[in-house]
Copies of this chain bind each other. A is one copy, B any other.
Amino acid sequence: MTEVERISKRGAIRQENEARILAAAEKVFAEAGFGGATMQLIADMAGLPKANLHYYFATKEELYRKVVQQIFEIWLHAADSFDNAPGPVEAIGAYIDAKMEISRRHPFGSKVWASEVMHGAPVIQDYLETTLRDWTAGRARLIQKWIDEGKMAPIDPNHLLYMLWATTQHYADFGHQIETLNGGMPLSDQQWKAAKASVKTIILRGIGAL
């Protein structure tokens, strides 16, 4: 028995194990897809017997749903930078930084999200139609305001948002391809910095905000 396990027994065993399982599940779902993932694999990765997973999460679907929801929360948070910014340069610049950082720190989550949406969002369709739709409409209005104020060129706000999502998430979802094209090496700190700078430069100049 390890030190960590002993301590956890005093306190929140459930919390500890659920977090452990969710982390393992996120990775396995990302790497194998929902259909390719197996509870056994997740269990092994979490270091628990399979039956124990079903004690905390009744079904594979329930576990998957929790993983997706967790990611969605993180993504919404990244959007905070959009508010309370004087103009597009600060808002969009910070948003790109935040999303790039998430692609770097949570590549598995990004992939699970991408997979979920690609397959028709069977689990989080309601989120798309409520939370995401509202968020998008709000930011689109904000962008339109900046356009009206002459702070940036007249660009369709929705397509700009799509471009922001696409470019930033690409570094997580297609990370393997990028790594391969980078000689089989993950991007270095320097290269991540360059990536962020490139994306920000092109987009901010592209919308006429620089």
A interface residues, Cβ below 8 angstroms from B: 30-37, 111, 114-115, 117-121, 125, 128-129, 132-133, 136, 153, 155-156, 158-160, 162-163, 165-167, 169-171, 173-174, 176-178, 180-181, 194-195, 198-199, 201-208
Contact = CB atoms under 8 A, between A and B. Distances in A.
Q: How many copies does the complex hold?
A: 2
A118 to B, nearest CB: 5
Contacts of A177: 117, 121, 128, 132
A18 B98 CA distance: 46
B170 A166 contact: yes
Q: Is the interface of A mostly helix, strand, loop or mixed?
A: helix
Nearest to A196: B159
A123 to B, nearest CB: 12
12 contacts: A32-B119, A34-B36, A35-B37, A114-B114, A114-B173, A115-B115, A117-B177, A129-B180, A162-B170, A162-B195, A205-B208, A206-B207
Nearest to A204: B206
A50 to B, nearest CB: 18
Nearest to A166: B170
A112 to B, nearest CB: 9
Contacts of A35: 32-37
B120 A176 contact: yes
B31 A33 contact: no
Given A170-B165, A181-B136, A206-B206, A156 B31 contact: no
